[in-house]
Structures are given as structure tokens and as C-alpha cells.
Amino acid sequence: MAPRSSSPPAVLTITCFDPSGSAGTVADIRPLTALSCRPVAAITSLTFQNSAGAFGALHETANSLRAQILQIVQEFDITAVKIGMLPTRDTVAGVIRLLEELNLPAPVIDPVLRASSGYELIEEDALELLMDELLPQARLITPNIPEAESLTGLRILDEDGMREAARSLRDIGARAVLIKGGHLKPGPDNKVVDVLDNGGDVVMLRGEWIAVDQLRGTGCMLSSAIAAHLGKGNGLEDSVRLAREFVSEAFRAAREDSTAARKELT
């Protein structure tokens, strides 16, 4: 067997493949590489999507997912794990078993529920198992507001609602929750707020609202960047802050590119 590698830090992403390159594995790899980590990946589903939305998928089985991950851990010491789309109860159960058997790091879970076009990305019985048995194993879960509403049954209209939803998700079993506030309108100061509830210690993280058209996969990028910083030995709050700044820089770069493109057309 080849010697195990741990430099640079190897971060395992377990999620779907998006052929358009905007979300899933491809979106995860960009921040992991930019943050000097070694990305390794296991595919849960081959999705059929583009910038207009998701239109179908071909899902992996727990056995095929297991075969992918076993080969990876034979070669690399995994320093962090990010989990995205888990479409079926079979894949959720397979990931739960692997986390336990292989003693993998507690994962960052981005609970992908549905595409922006409305296509359901997780089956109902898979979601039940994810909430009951996988969320309690997570180091952090990173729902946006629609996802947090679906997971808790709460209506989130403001920062107080975000706090309540984060507390509810911890009551369900999550150790720490980052609720992303990008779906709320920015305040008069043009700031957007995320809520980090780490075992009951709540921090409000404010940042510039940056409007960018057609920028997909930001949730994937954020959760992967958090995993990268955790894998490099940073604490949770520092990892979240650093990852938010990484994504903000991506927004700024996309805005500049969009502005330059519009100038060329005029």
C-alpha cells in the first residue's frame, strides 16, 4: 500500500457532481485548492443541471460511495470532511457508518434540500435519517434560511428568527449551527448577517451585501472553505470568519467581472 499523505491537509468532500461546474464537487474543489488543501472527493449523485436549474439525477449506492471513500482513506490522512448532497436514505446511512467505522473528523454539513429551480435533492426518508442520526455527528451545519425553515418548521423573518432556528437545530442534536442570512433583505447599512450558534454561544457575523447576478454554488464554497480552515487547525469561529471573507472576495471578483462585461457591451 502506498504511504499515507497528510501534507497539504487532505479535505474530503462528499457530495454530488454538477456538470455545469457551479455547485457540488467542482464548487468545493475551488476553495480547497485556493486555501492550500488537498481536495479529495466522493460522489453521491450525478446531477443533470445547468444555470437554469436541476432536471434530474442518477444516484450512487451506499456500496459505491463506500468503495470511493475506502480507497481515499487508504492513501490520505483526512483532516476535515465536508458533506453536501445526500439524496437517498441509503447514501445517508452509508455515510453515517463510514464516519463511525473510519473515525473521520466530525463533518461540516451543508444540508442541501432542493435546487433553486425547485427540484428536490433529498428524499423524505433520507432527510429524516439525516436529522436523526447524521446532524448530531456534525461539527457544524450550514443551512441557508429556506433550508433552516424546512428543517425546523419555523418561519424566519429577521435576526431573532435566525437565532430561534439555530437554537431549534441544536435542540434536534446539532453541535453548532451557522444560519446564512443572504435570503433576508440587507439592513439600512447594506449589511447581511449570519448567525453562528456554537453550543449556545451565539455570534452575529455581519458583512457587506454584494449583489451579483448568476453566482451559484456559494453555499458549497462557504462550507468547503470552513472545512479547509478546520482541517488546517483553526477553531470553529475563526474558520467561519475566514471562510466568509473568502466567499466575499469571490463575490467582489464576480461583481467586478460582471461590471467589466457590461462596459464592453456598451
The pTM of the full predicted model, rounded to 2 decimals, is 0.90
Comparing CA positions, the residue from 51, 56, 136 lying closest to residue 96 is 136
> Where do the DSSP E strands lie in the chain?
5-17, 38-50, 53-59, 76-83, 108-109, 140-141, 176-179, 191-198, 201-208
pLDDT value of position 261:
46
Distance CA 107, CA 137 (A): 7
Q: Is 223:194 a contact under the CB 8 Å cutoff?
A: no
Which of helix, strand or coil describes residue 83?
strand
Label the pairing between strands 191-198 and 201-208: antiparallel
Q: Determine whether 101 is exposed, middle or buried from the number of CB atoms within 10 Å of its CB (0-12, 13-18, 19+).
A: exposed
Which of helix, strand or coil describes residue 117?
coil
The CATH class given to the 5-265 domain equals: alpha beta
pLDDT value of position 2:
45
Could you please report the per-residue DSSP string of 149-198?
HHHH-----SHHHHHHHHHHHHHHT-SEEEEB-TTSPP-TT-EEEEEEEE
Per-residue pLDDT 10s for the chain (266 aa) are 444 555 799 999 999 999 988 889 999 999 999 999 999 999 999 999 887 778 889 999 999 999 999 999 999 999 999 999 999 999 999 999 999 999 999 999 999 998 776 778 899 999 999 999 999 999 999 999 999 999 999 999 999 999 999 999 999 999 999 999 987 877 667 778 999 999 999 999 997 766 655 566 788 999 999 999 999 999 999 999 999 999 988 877 766 655 444 455 55
Contacts of 74 (CB under 8 A, 6+ apart): 1, 2, 4
pLDDT value of position 212:
59
pLDDT of 179-230, one tens digit each? 999 878 776 677 789 999 999 999 999 977 666 555 667 889 999 999 999 9
Distance CA 151, CA 6 (A): 35
Q: Return the DSSP state at 105.
A: P
Domain boundaries, the chain: 5-265
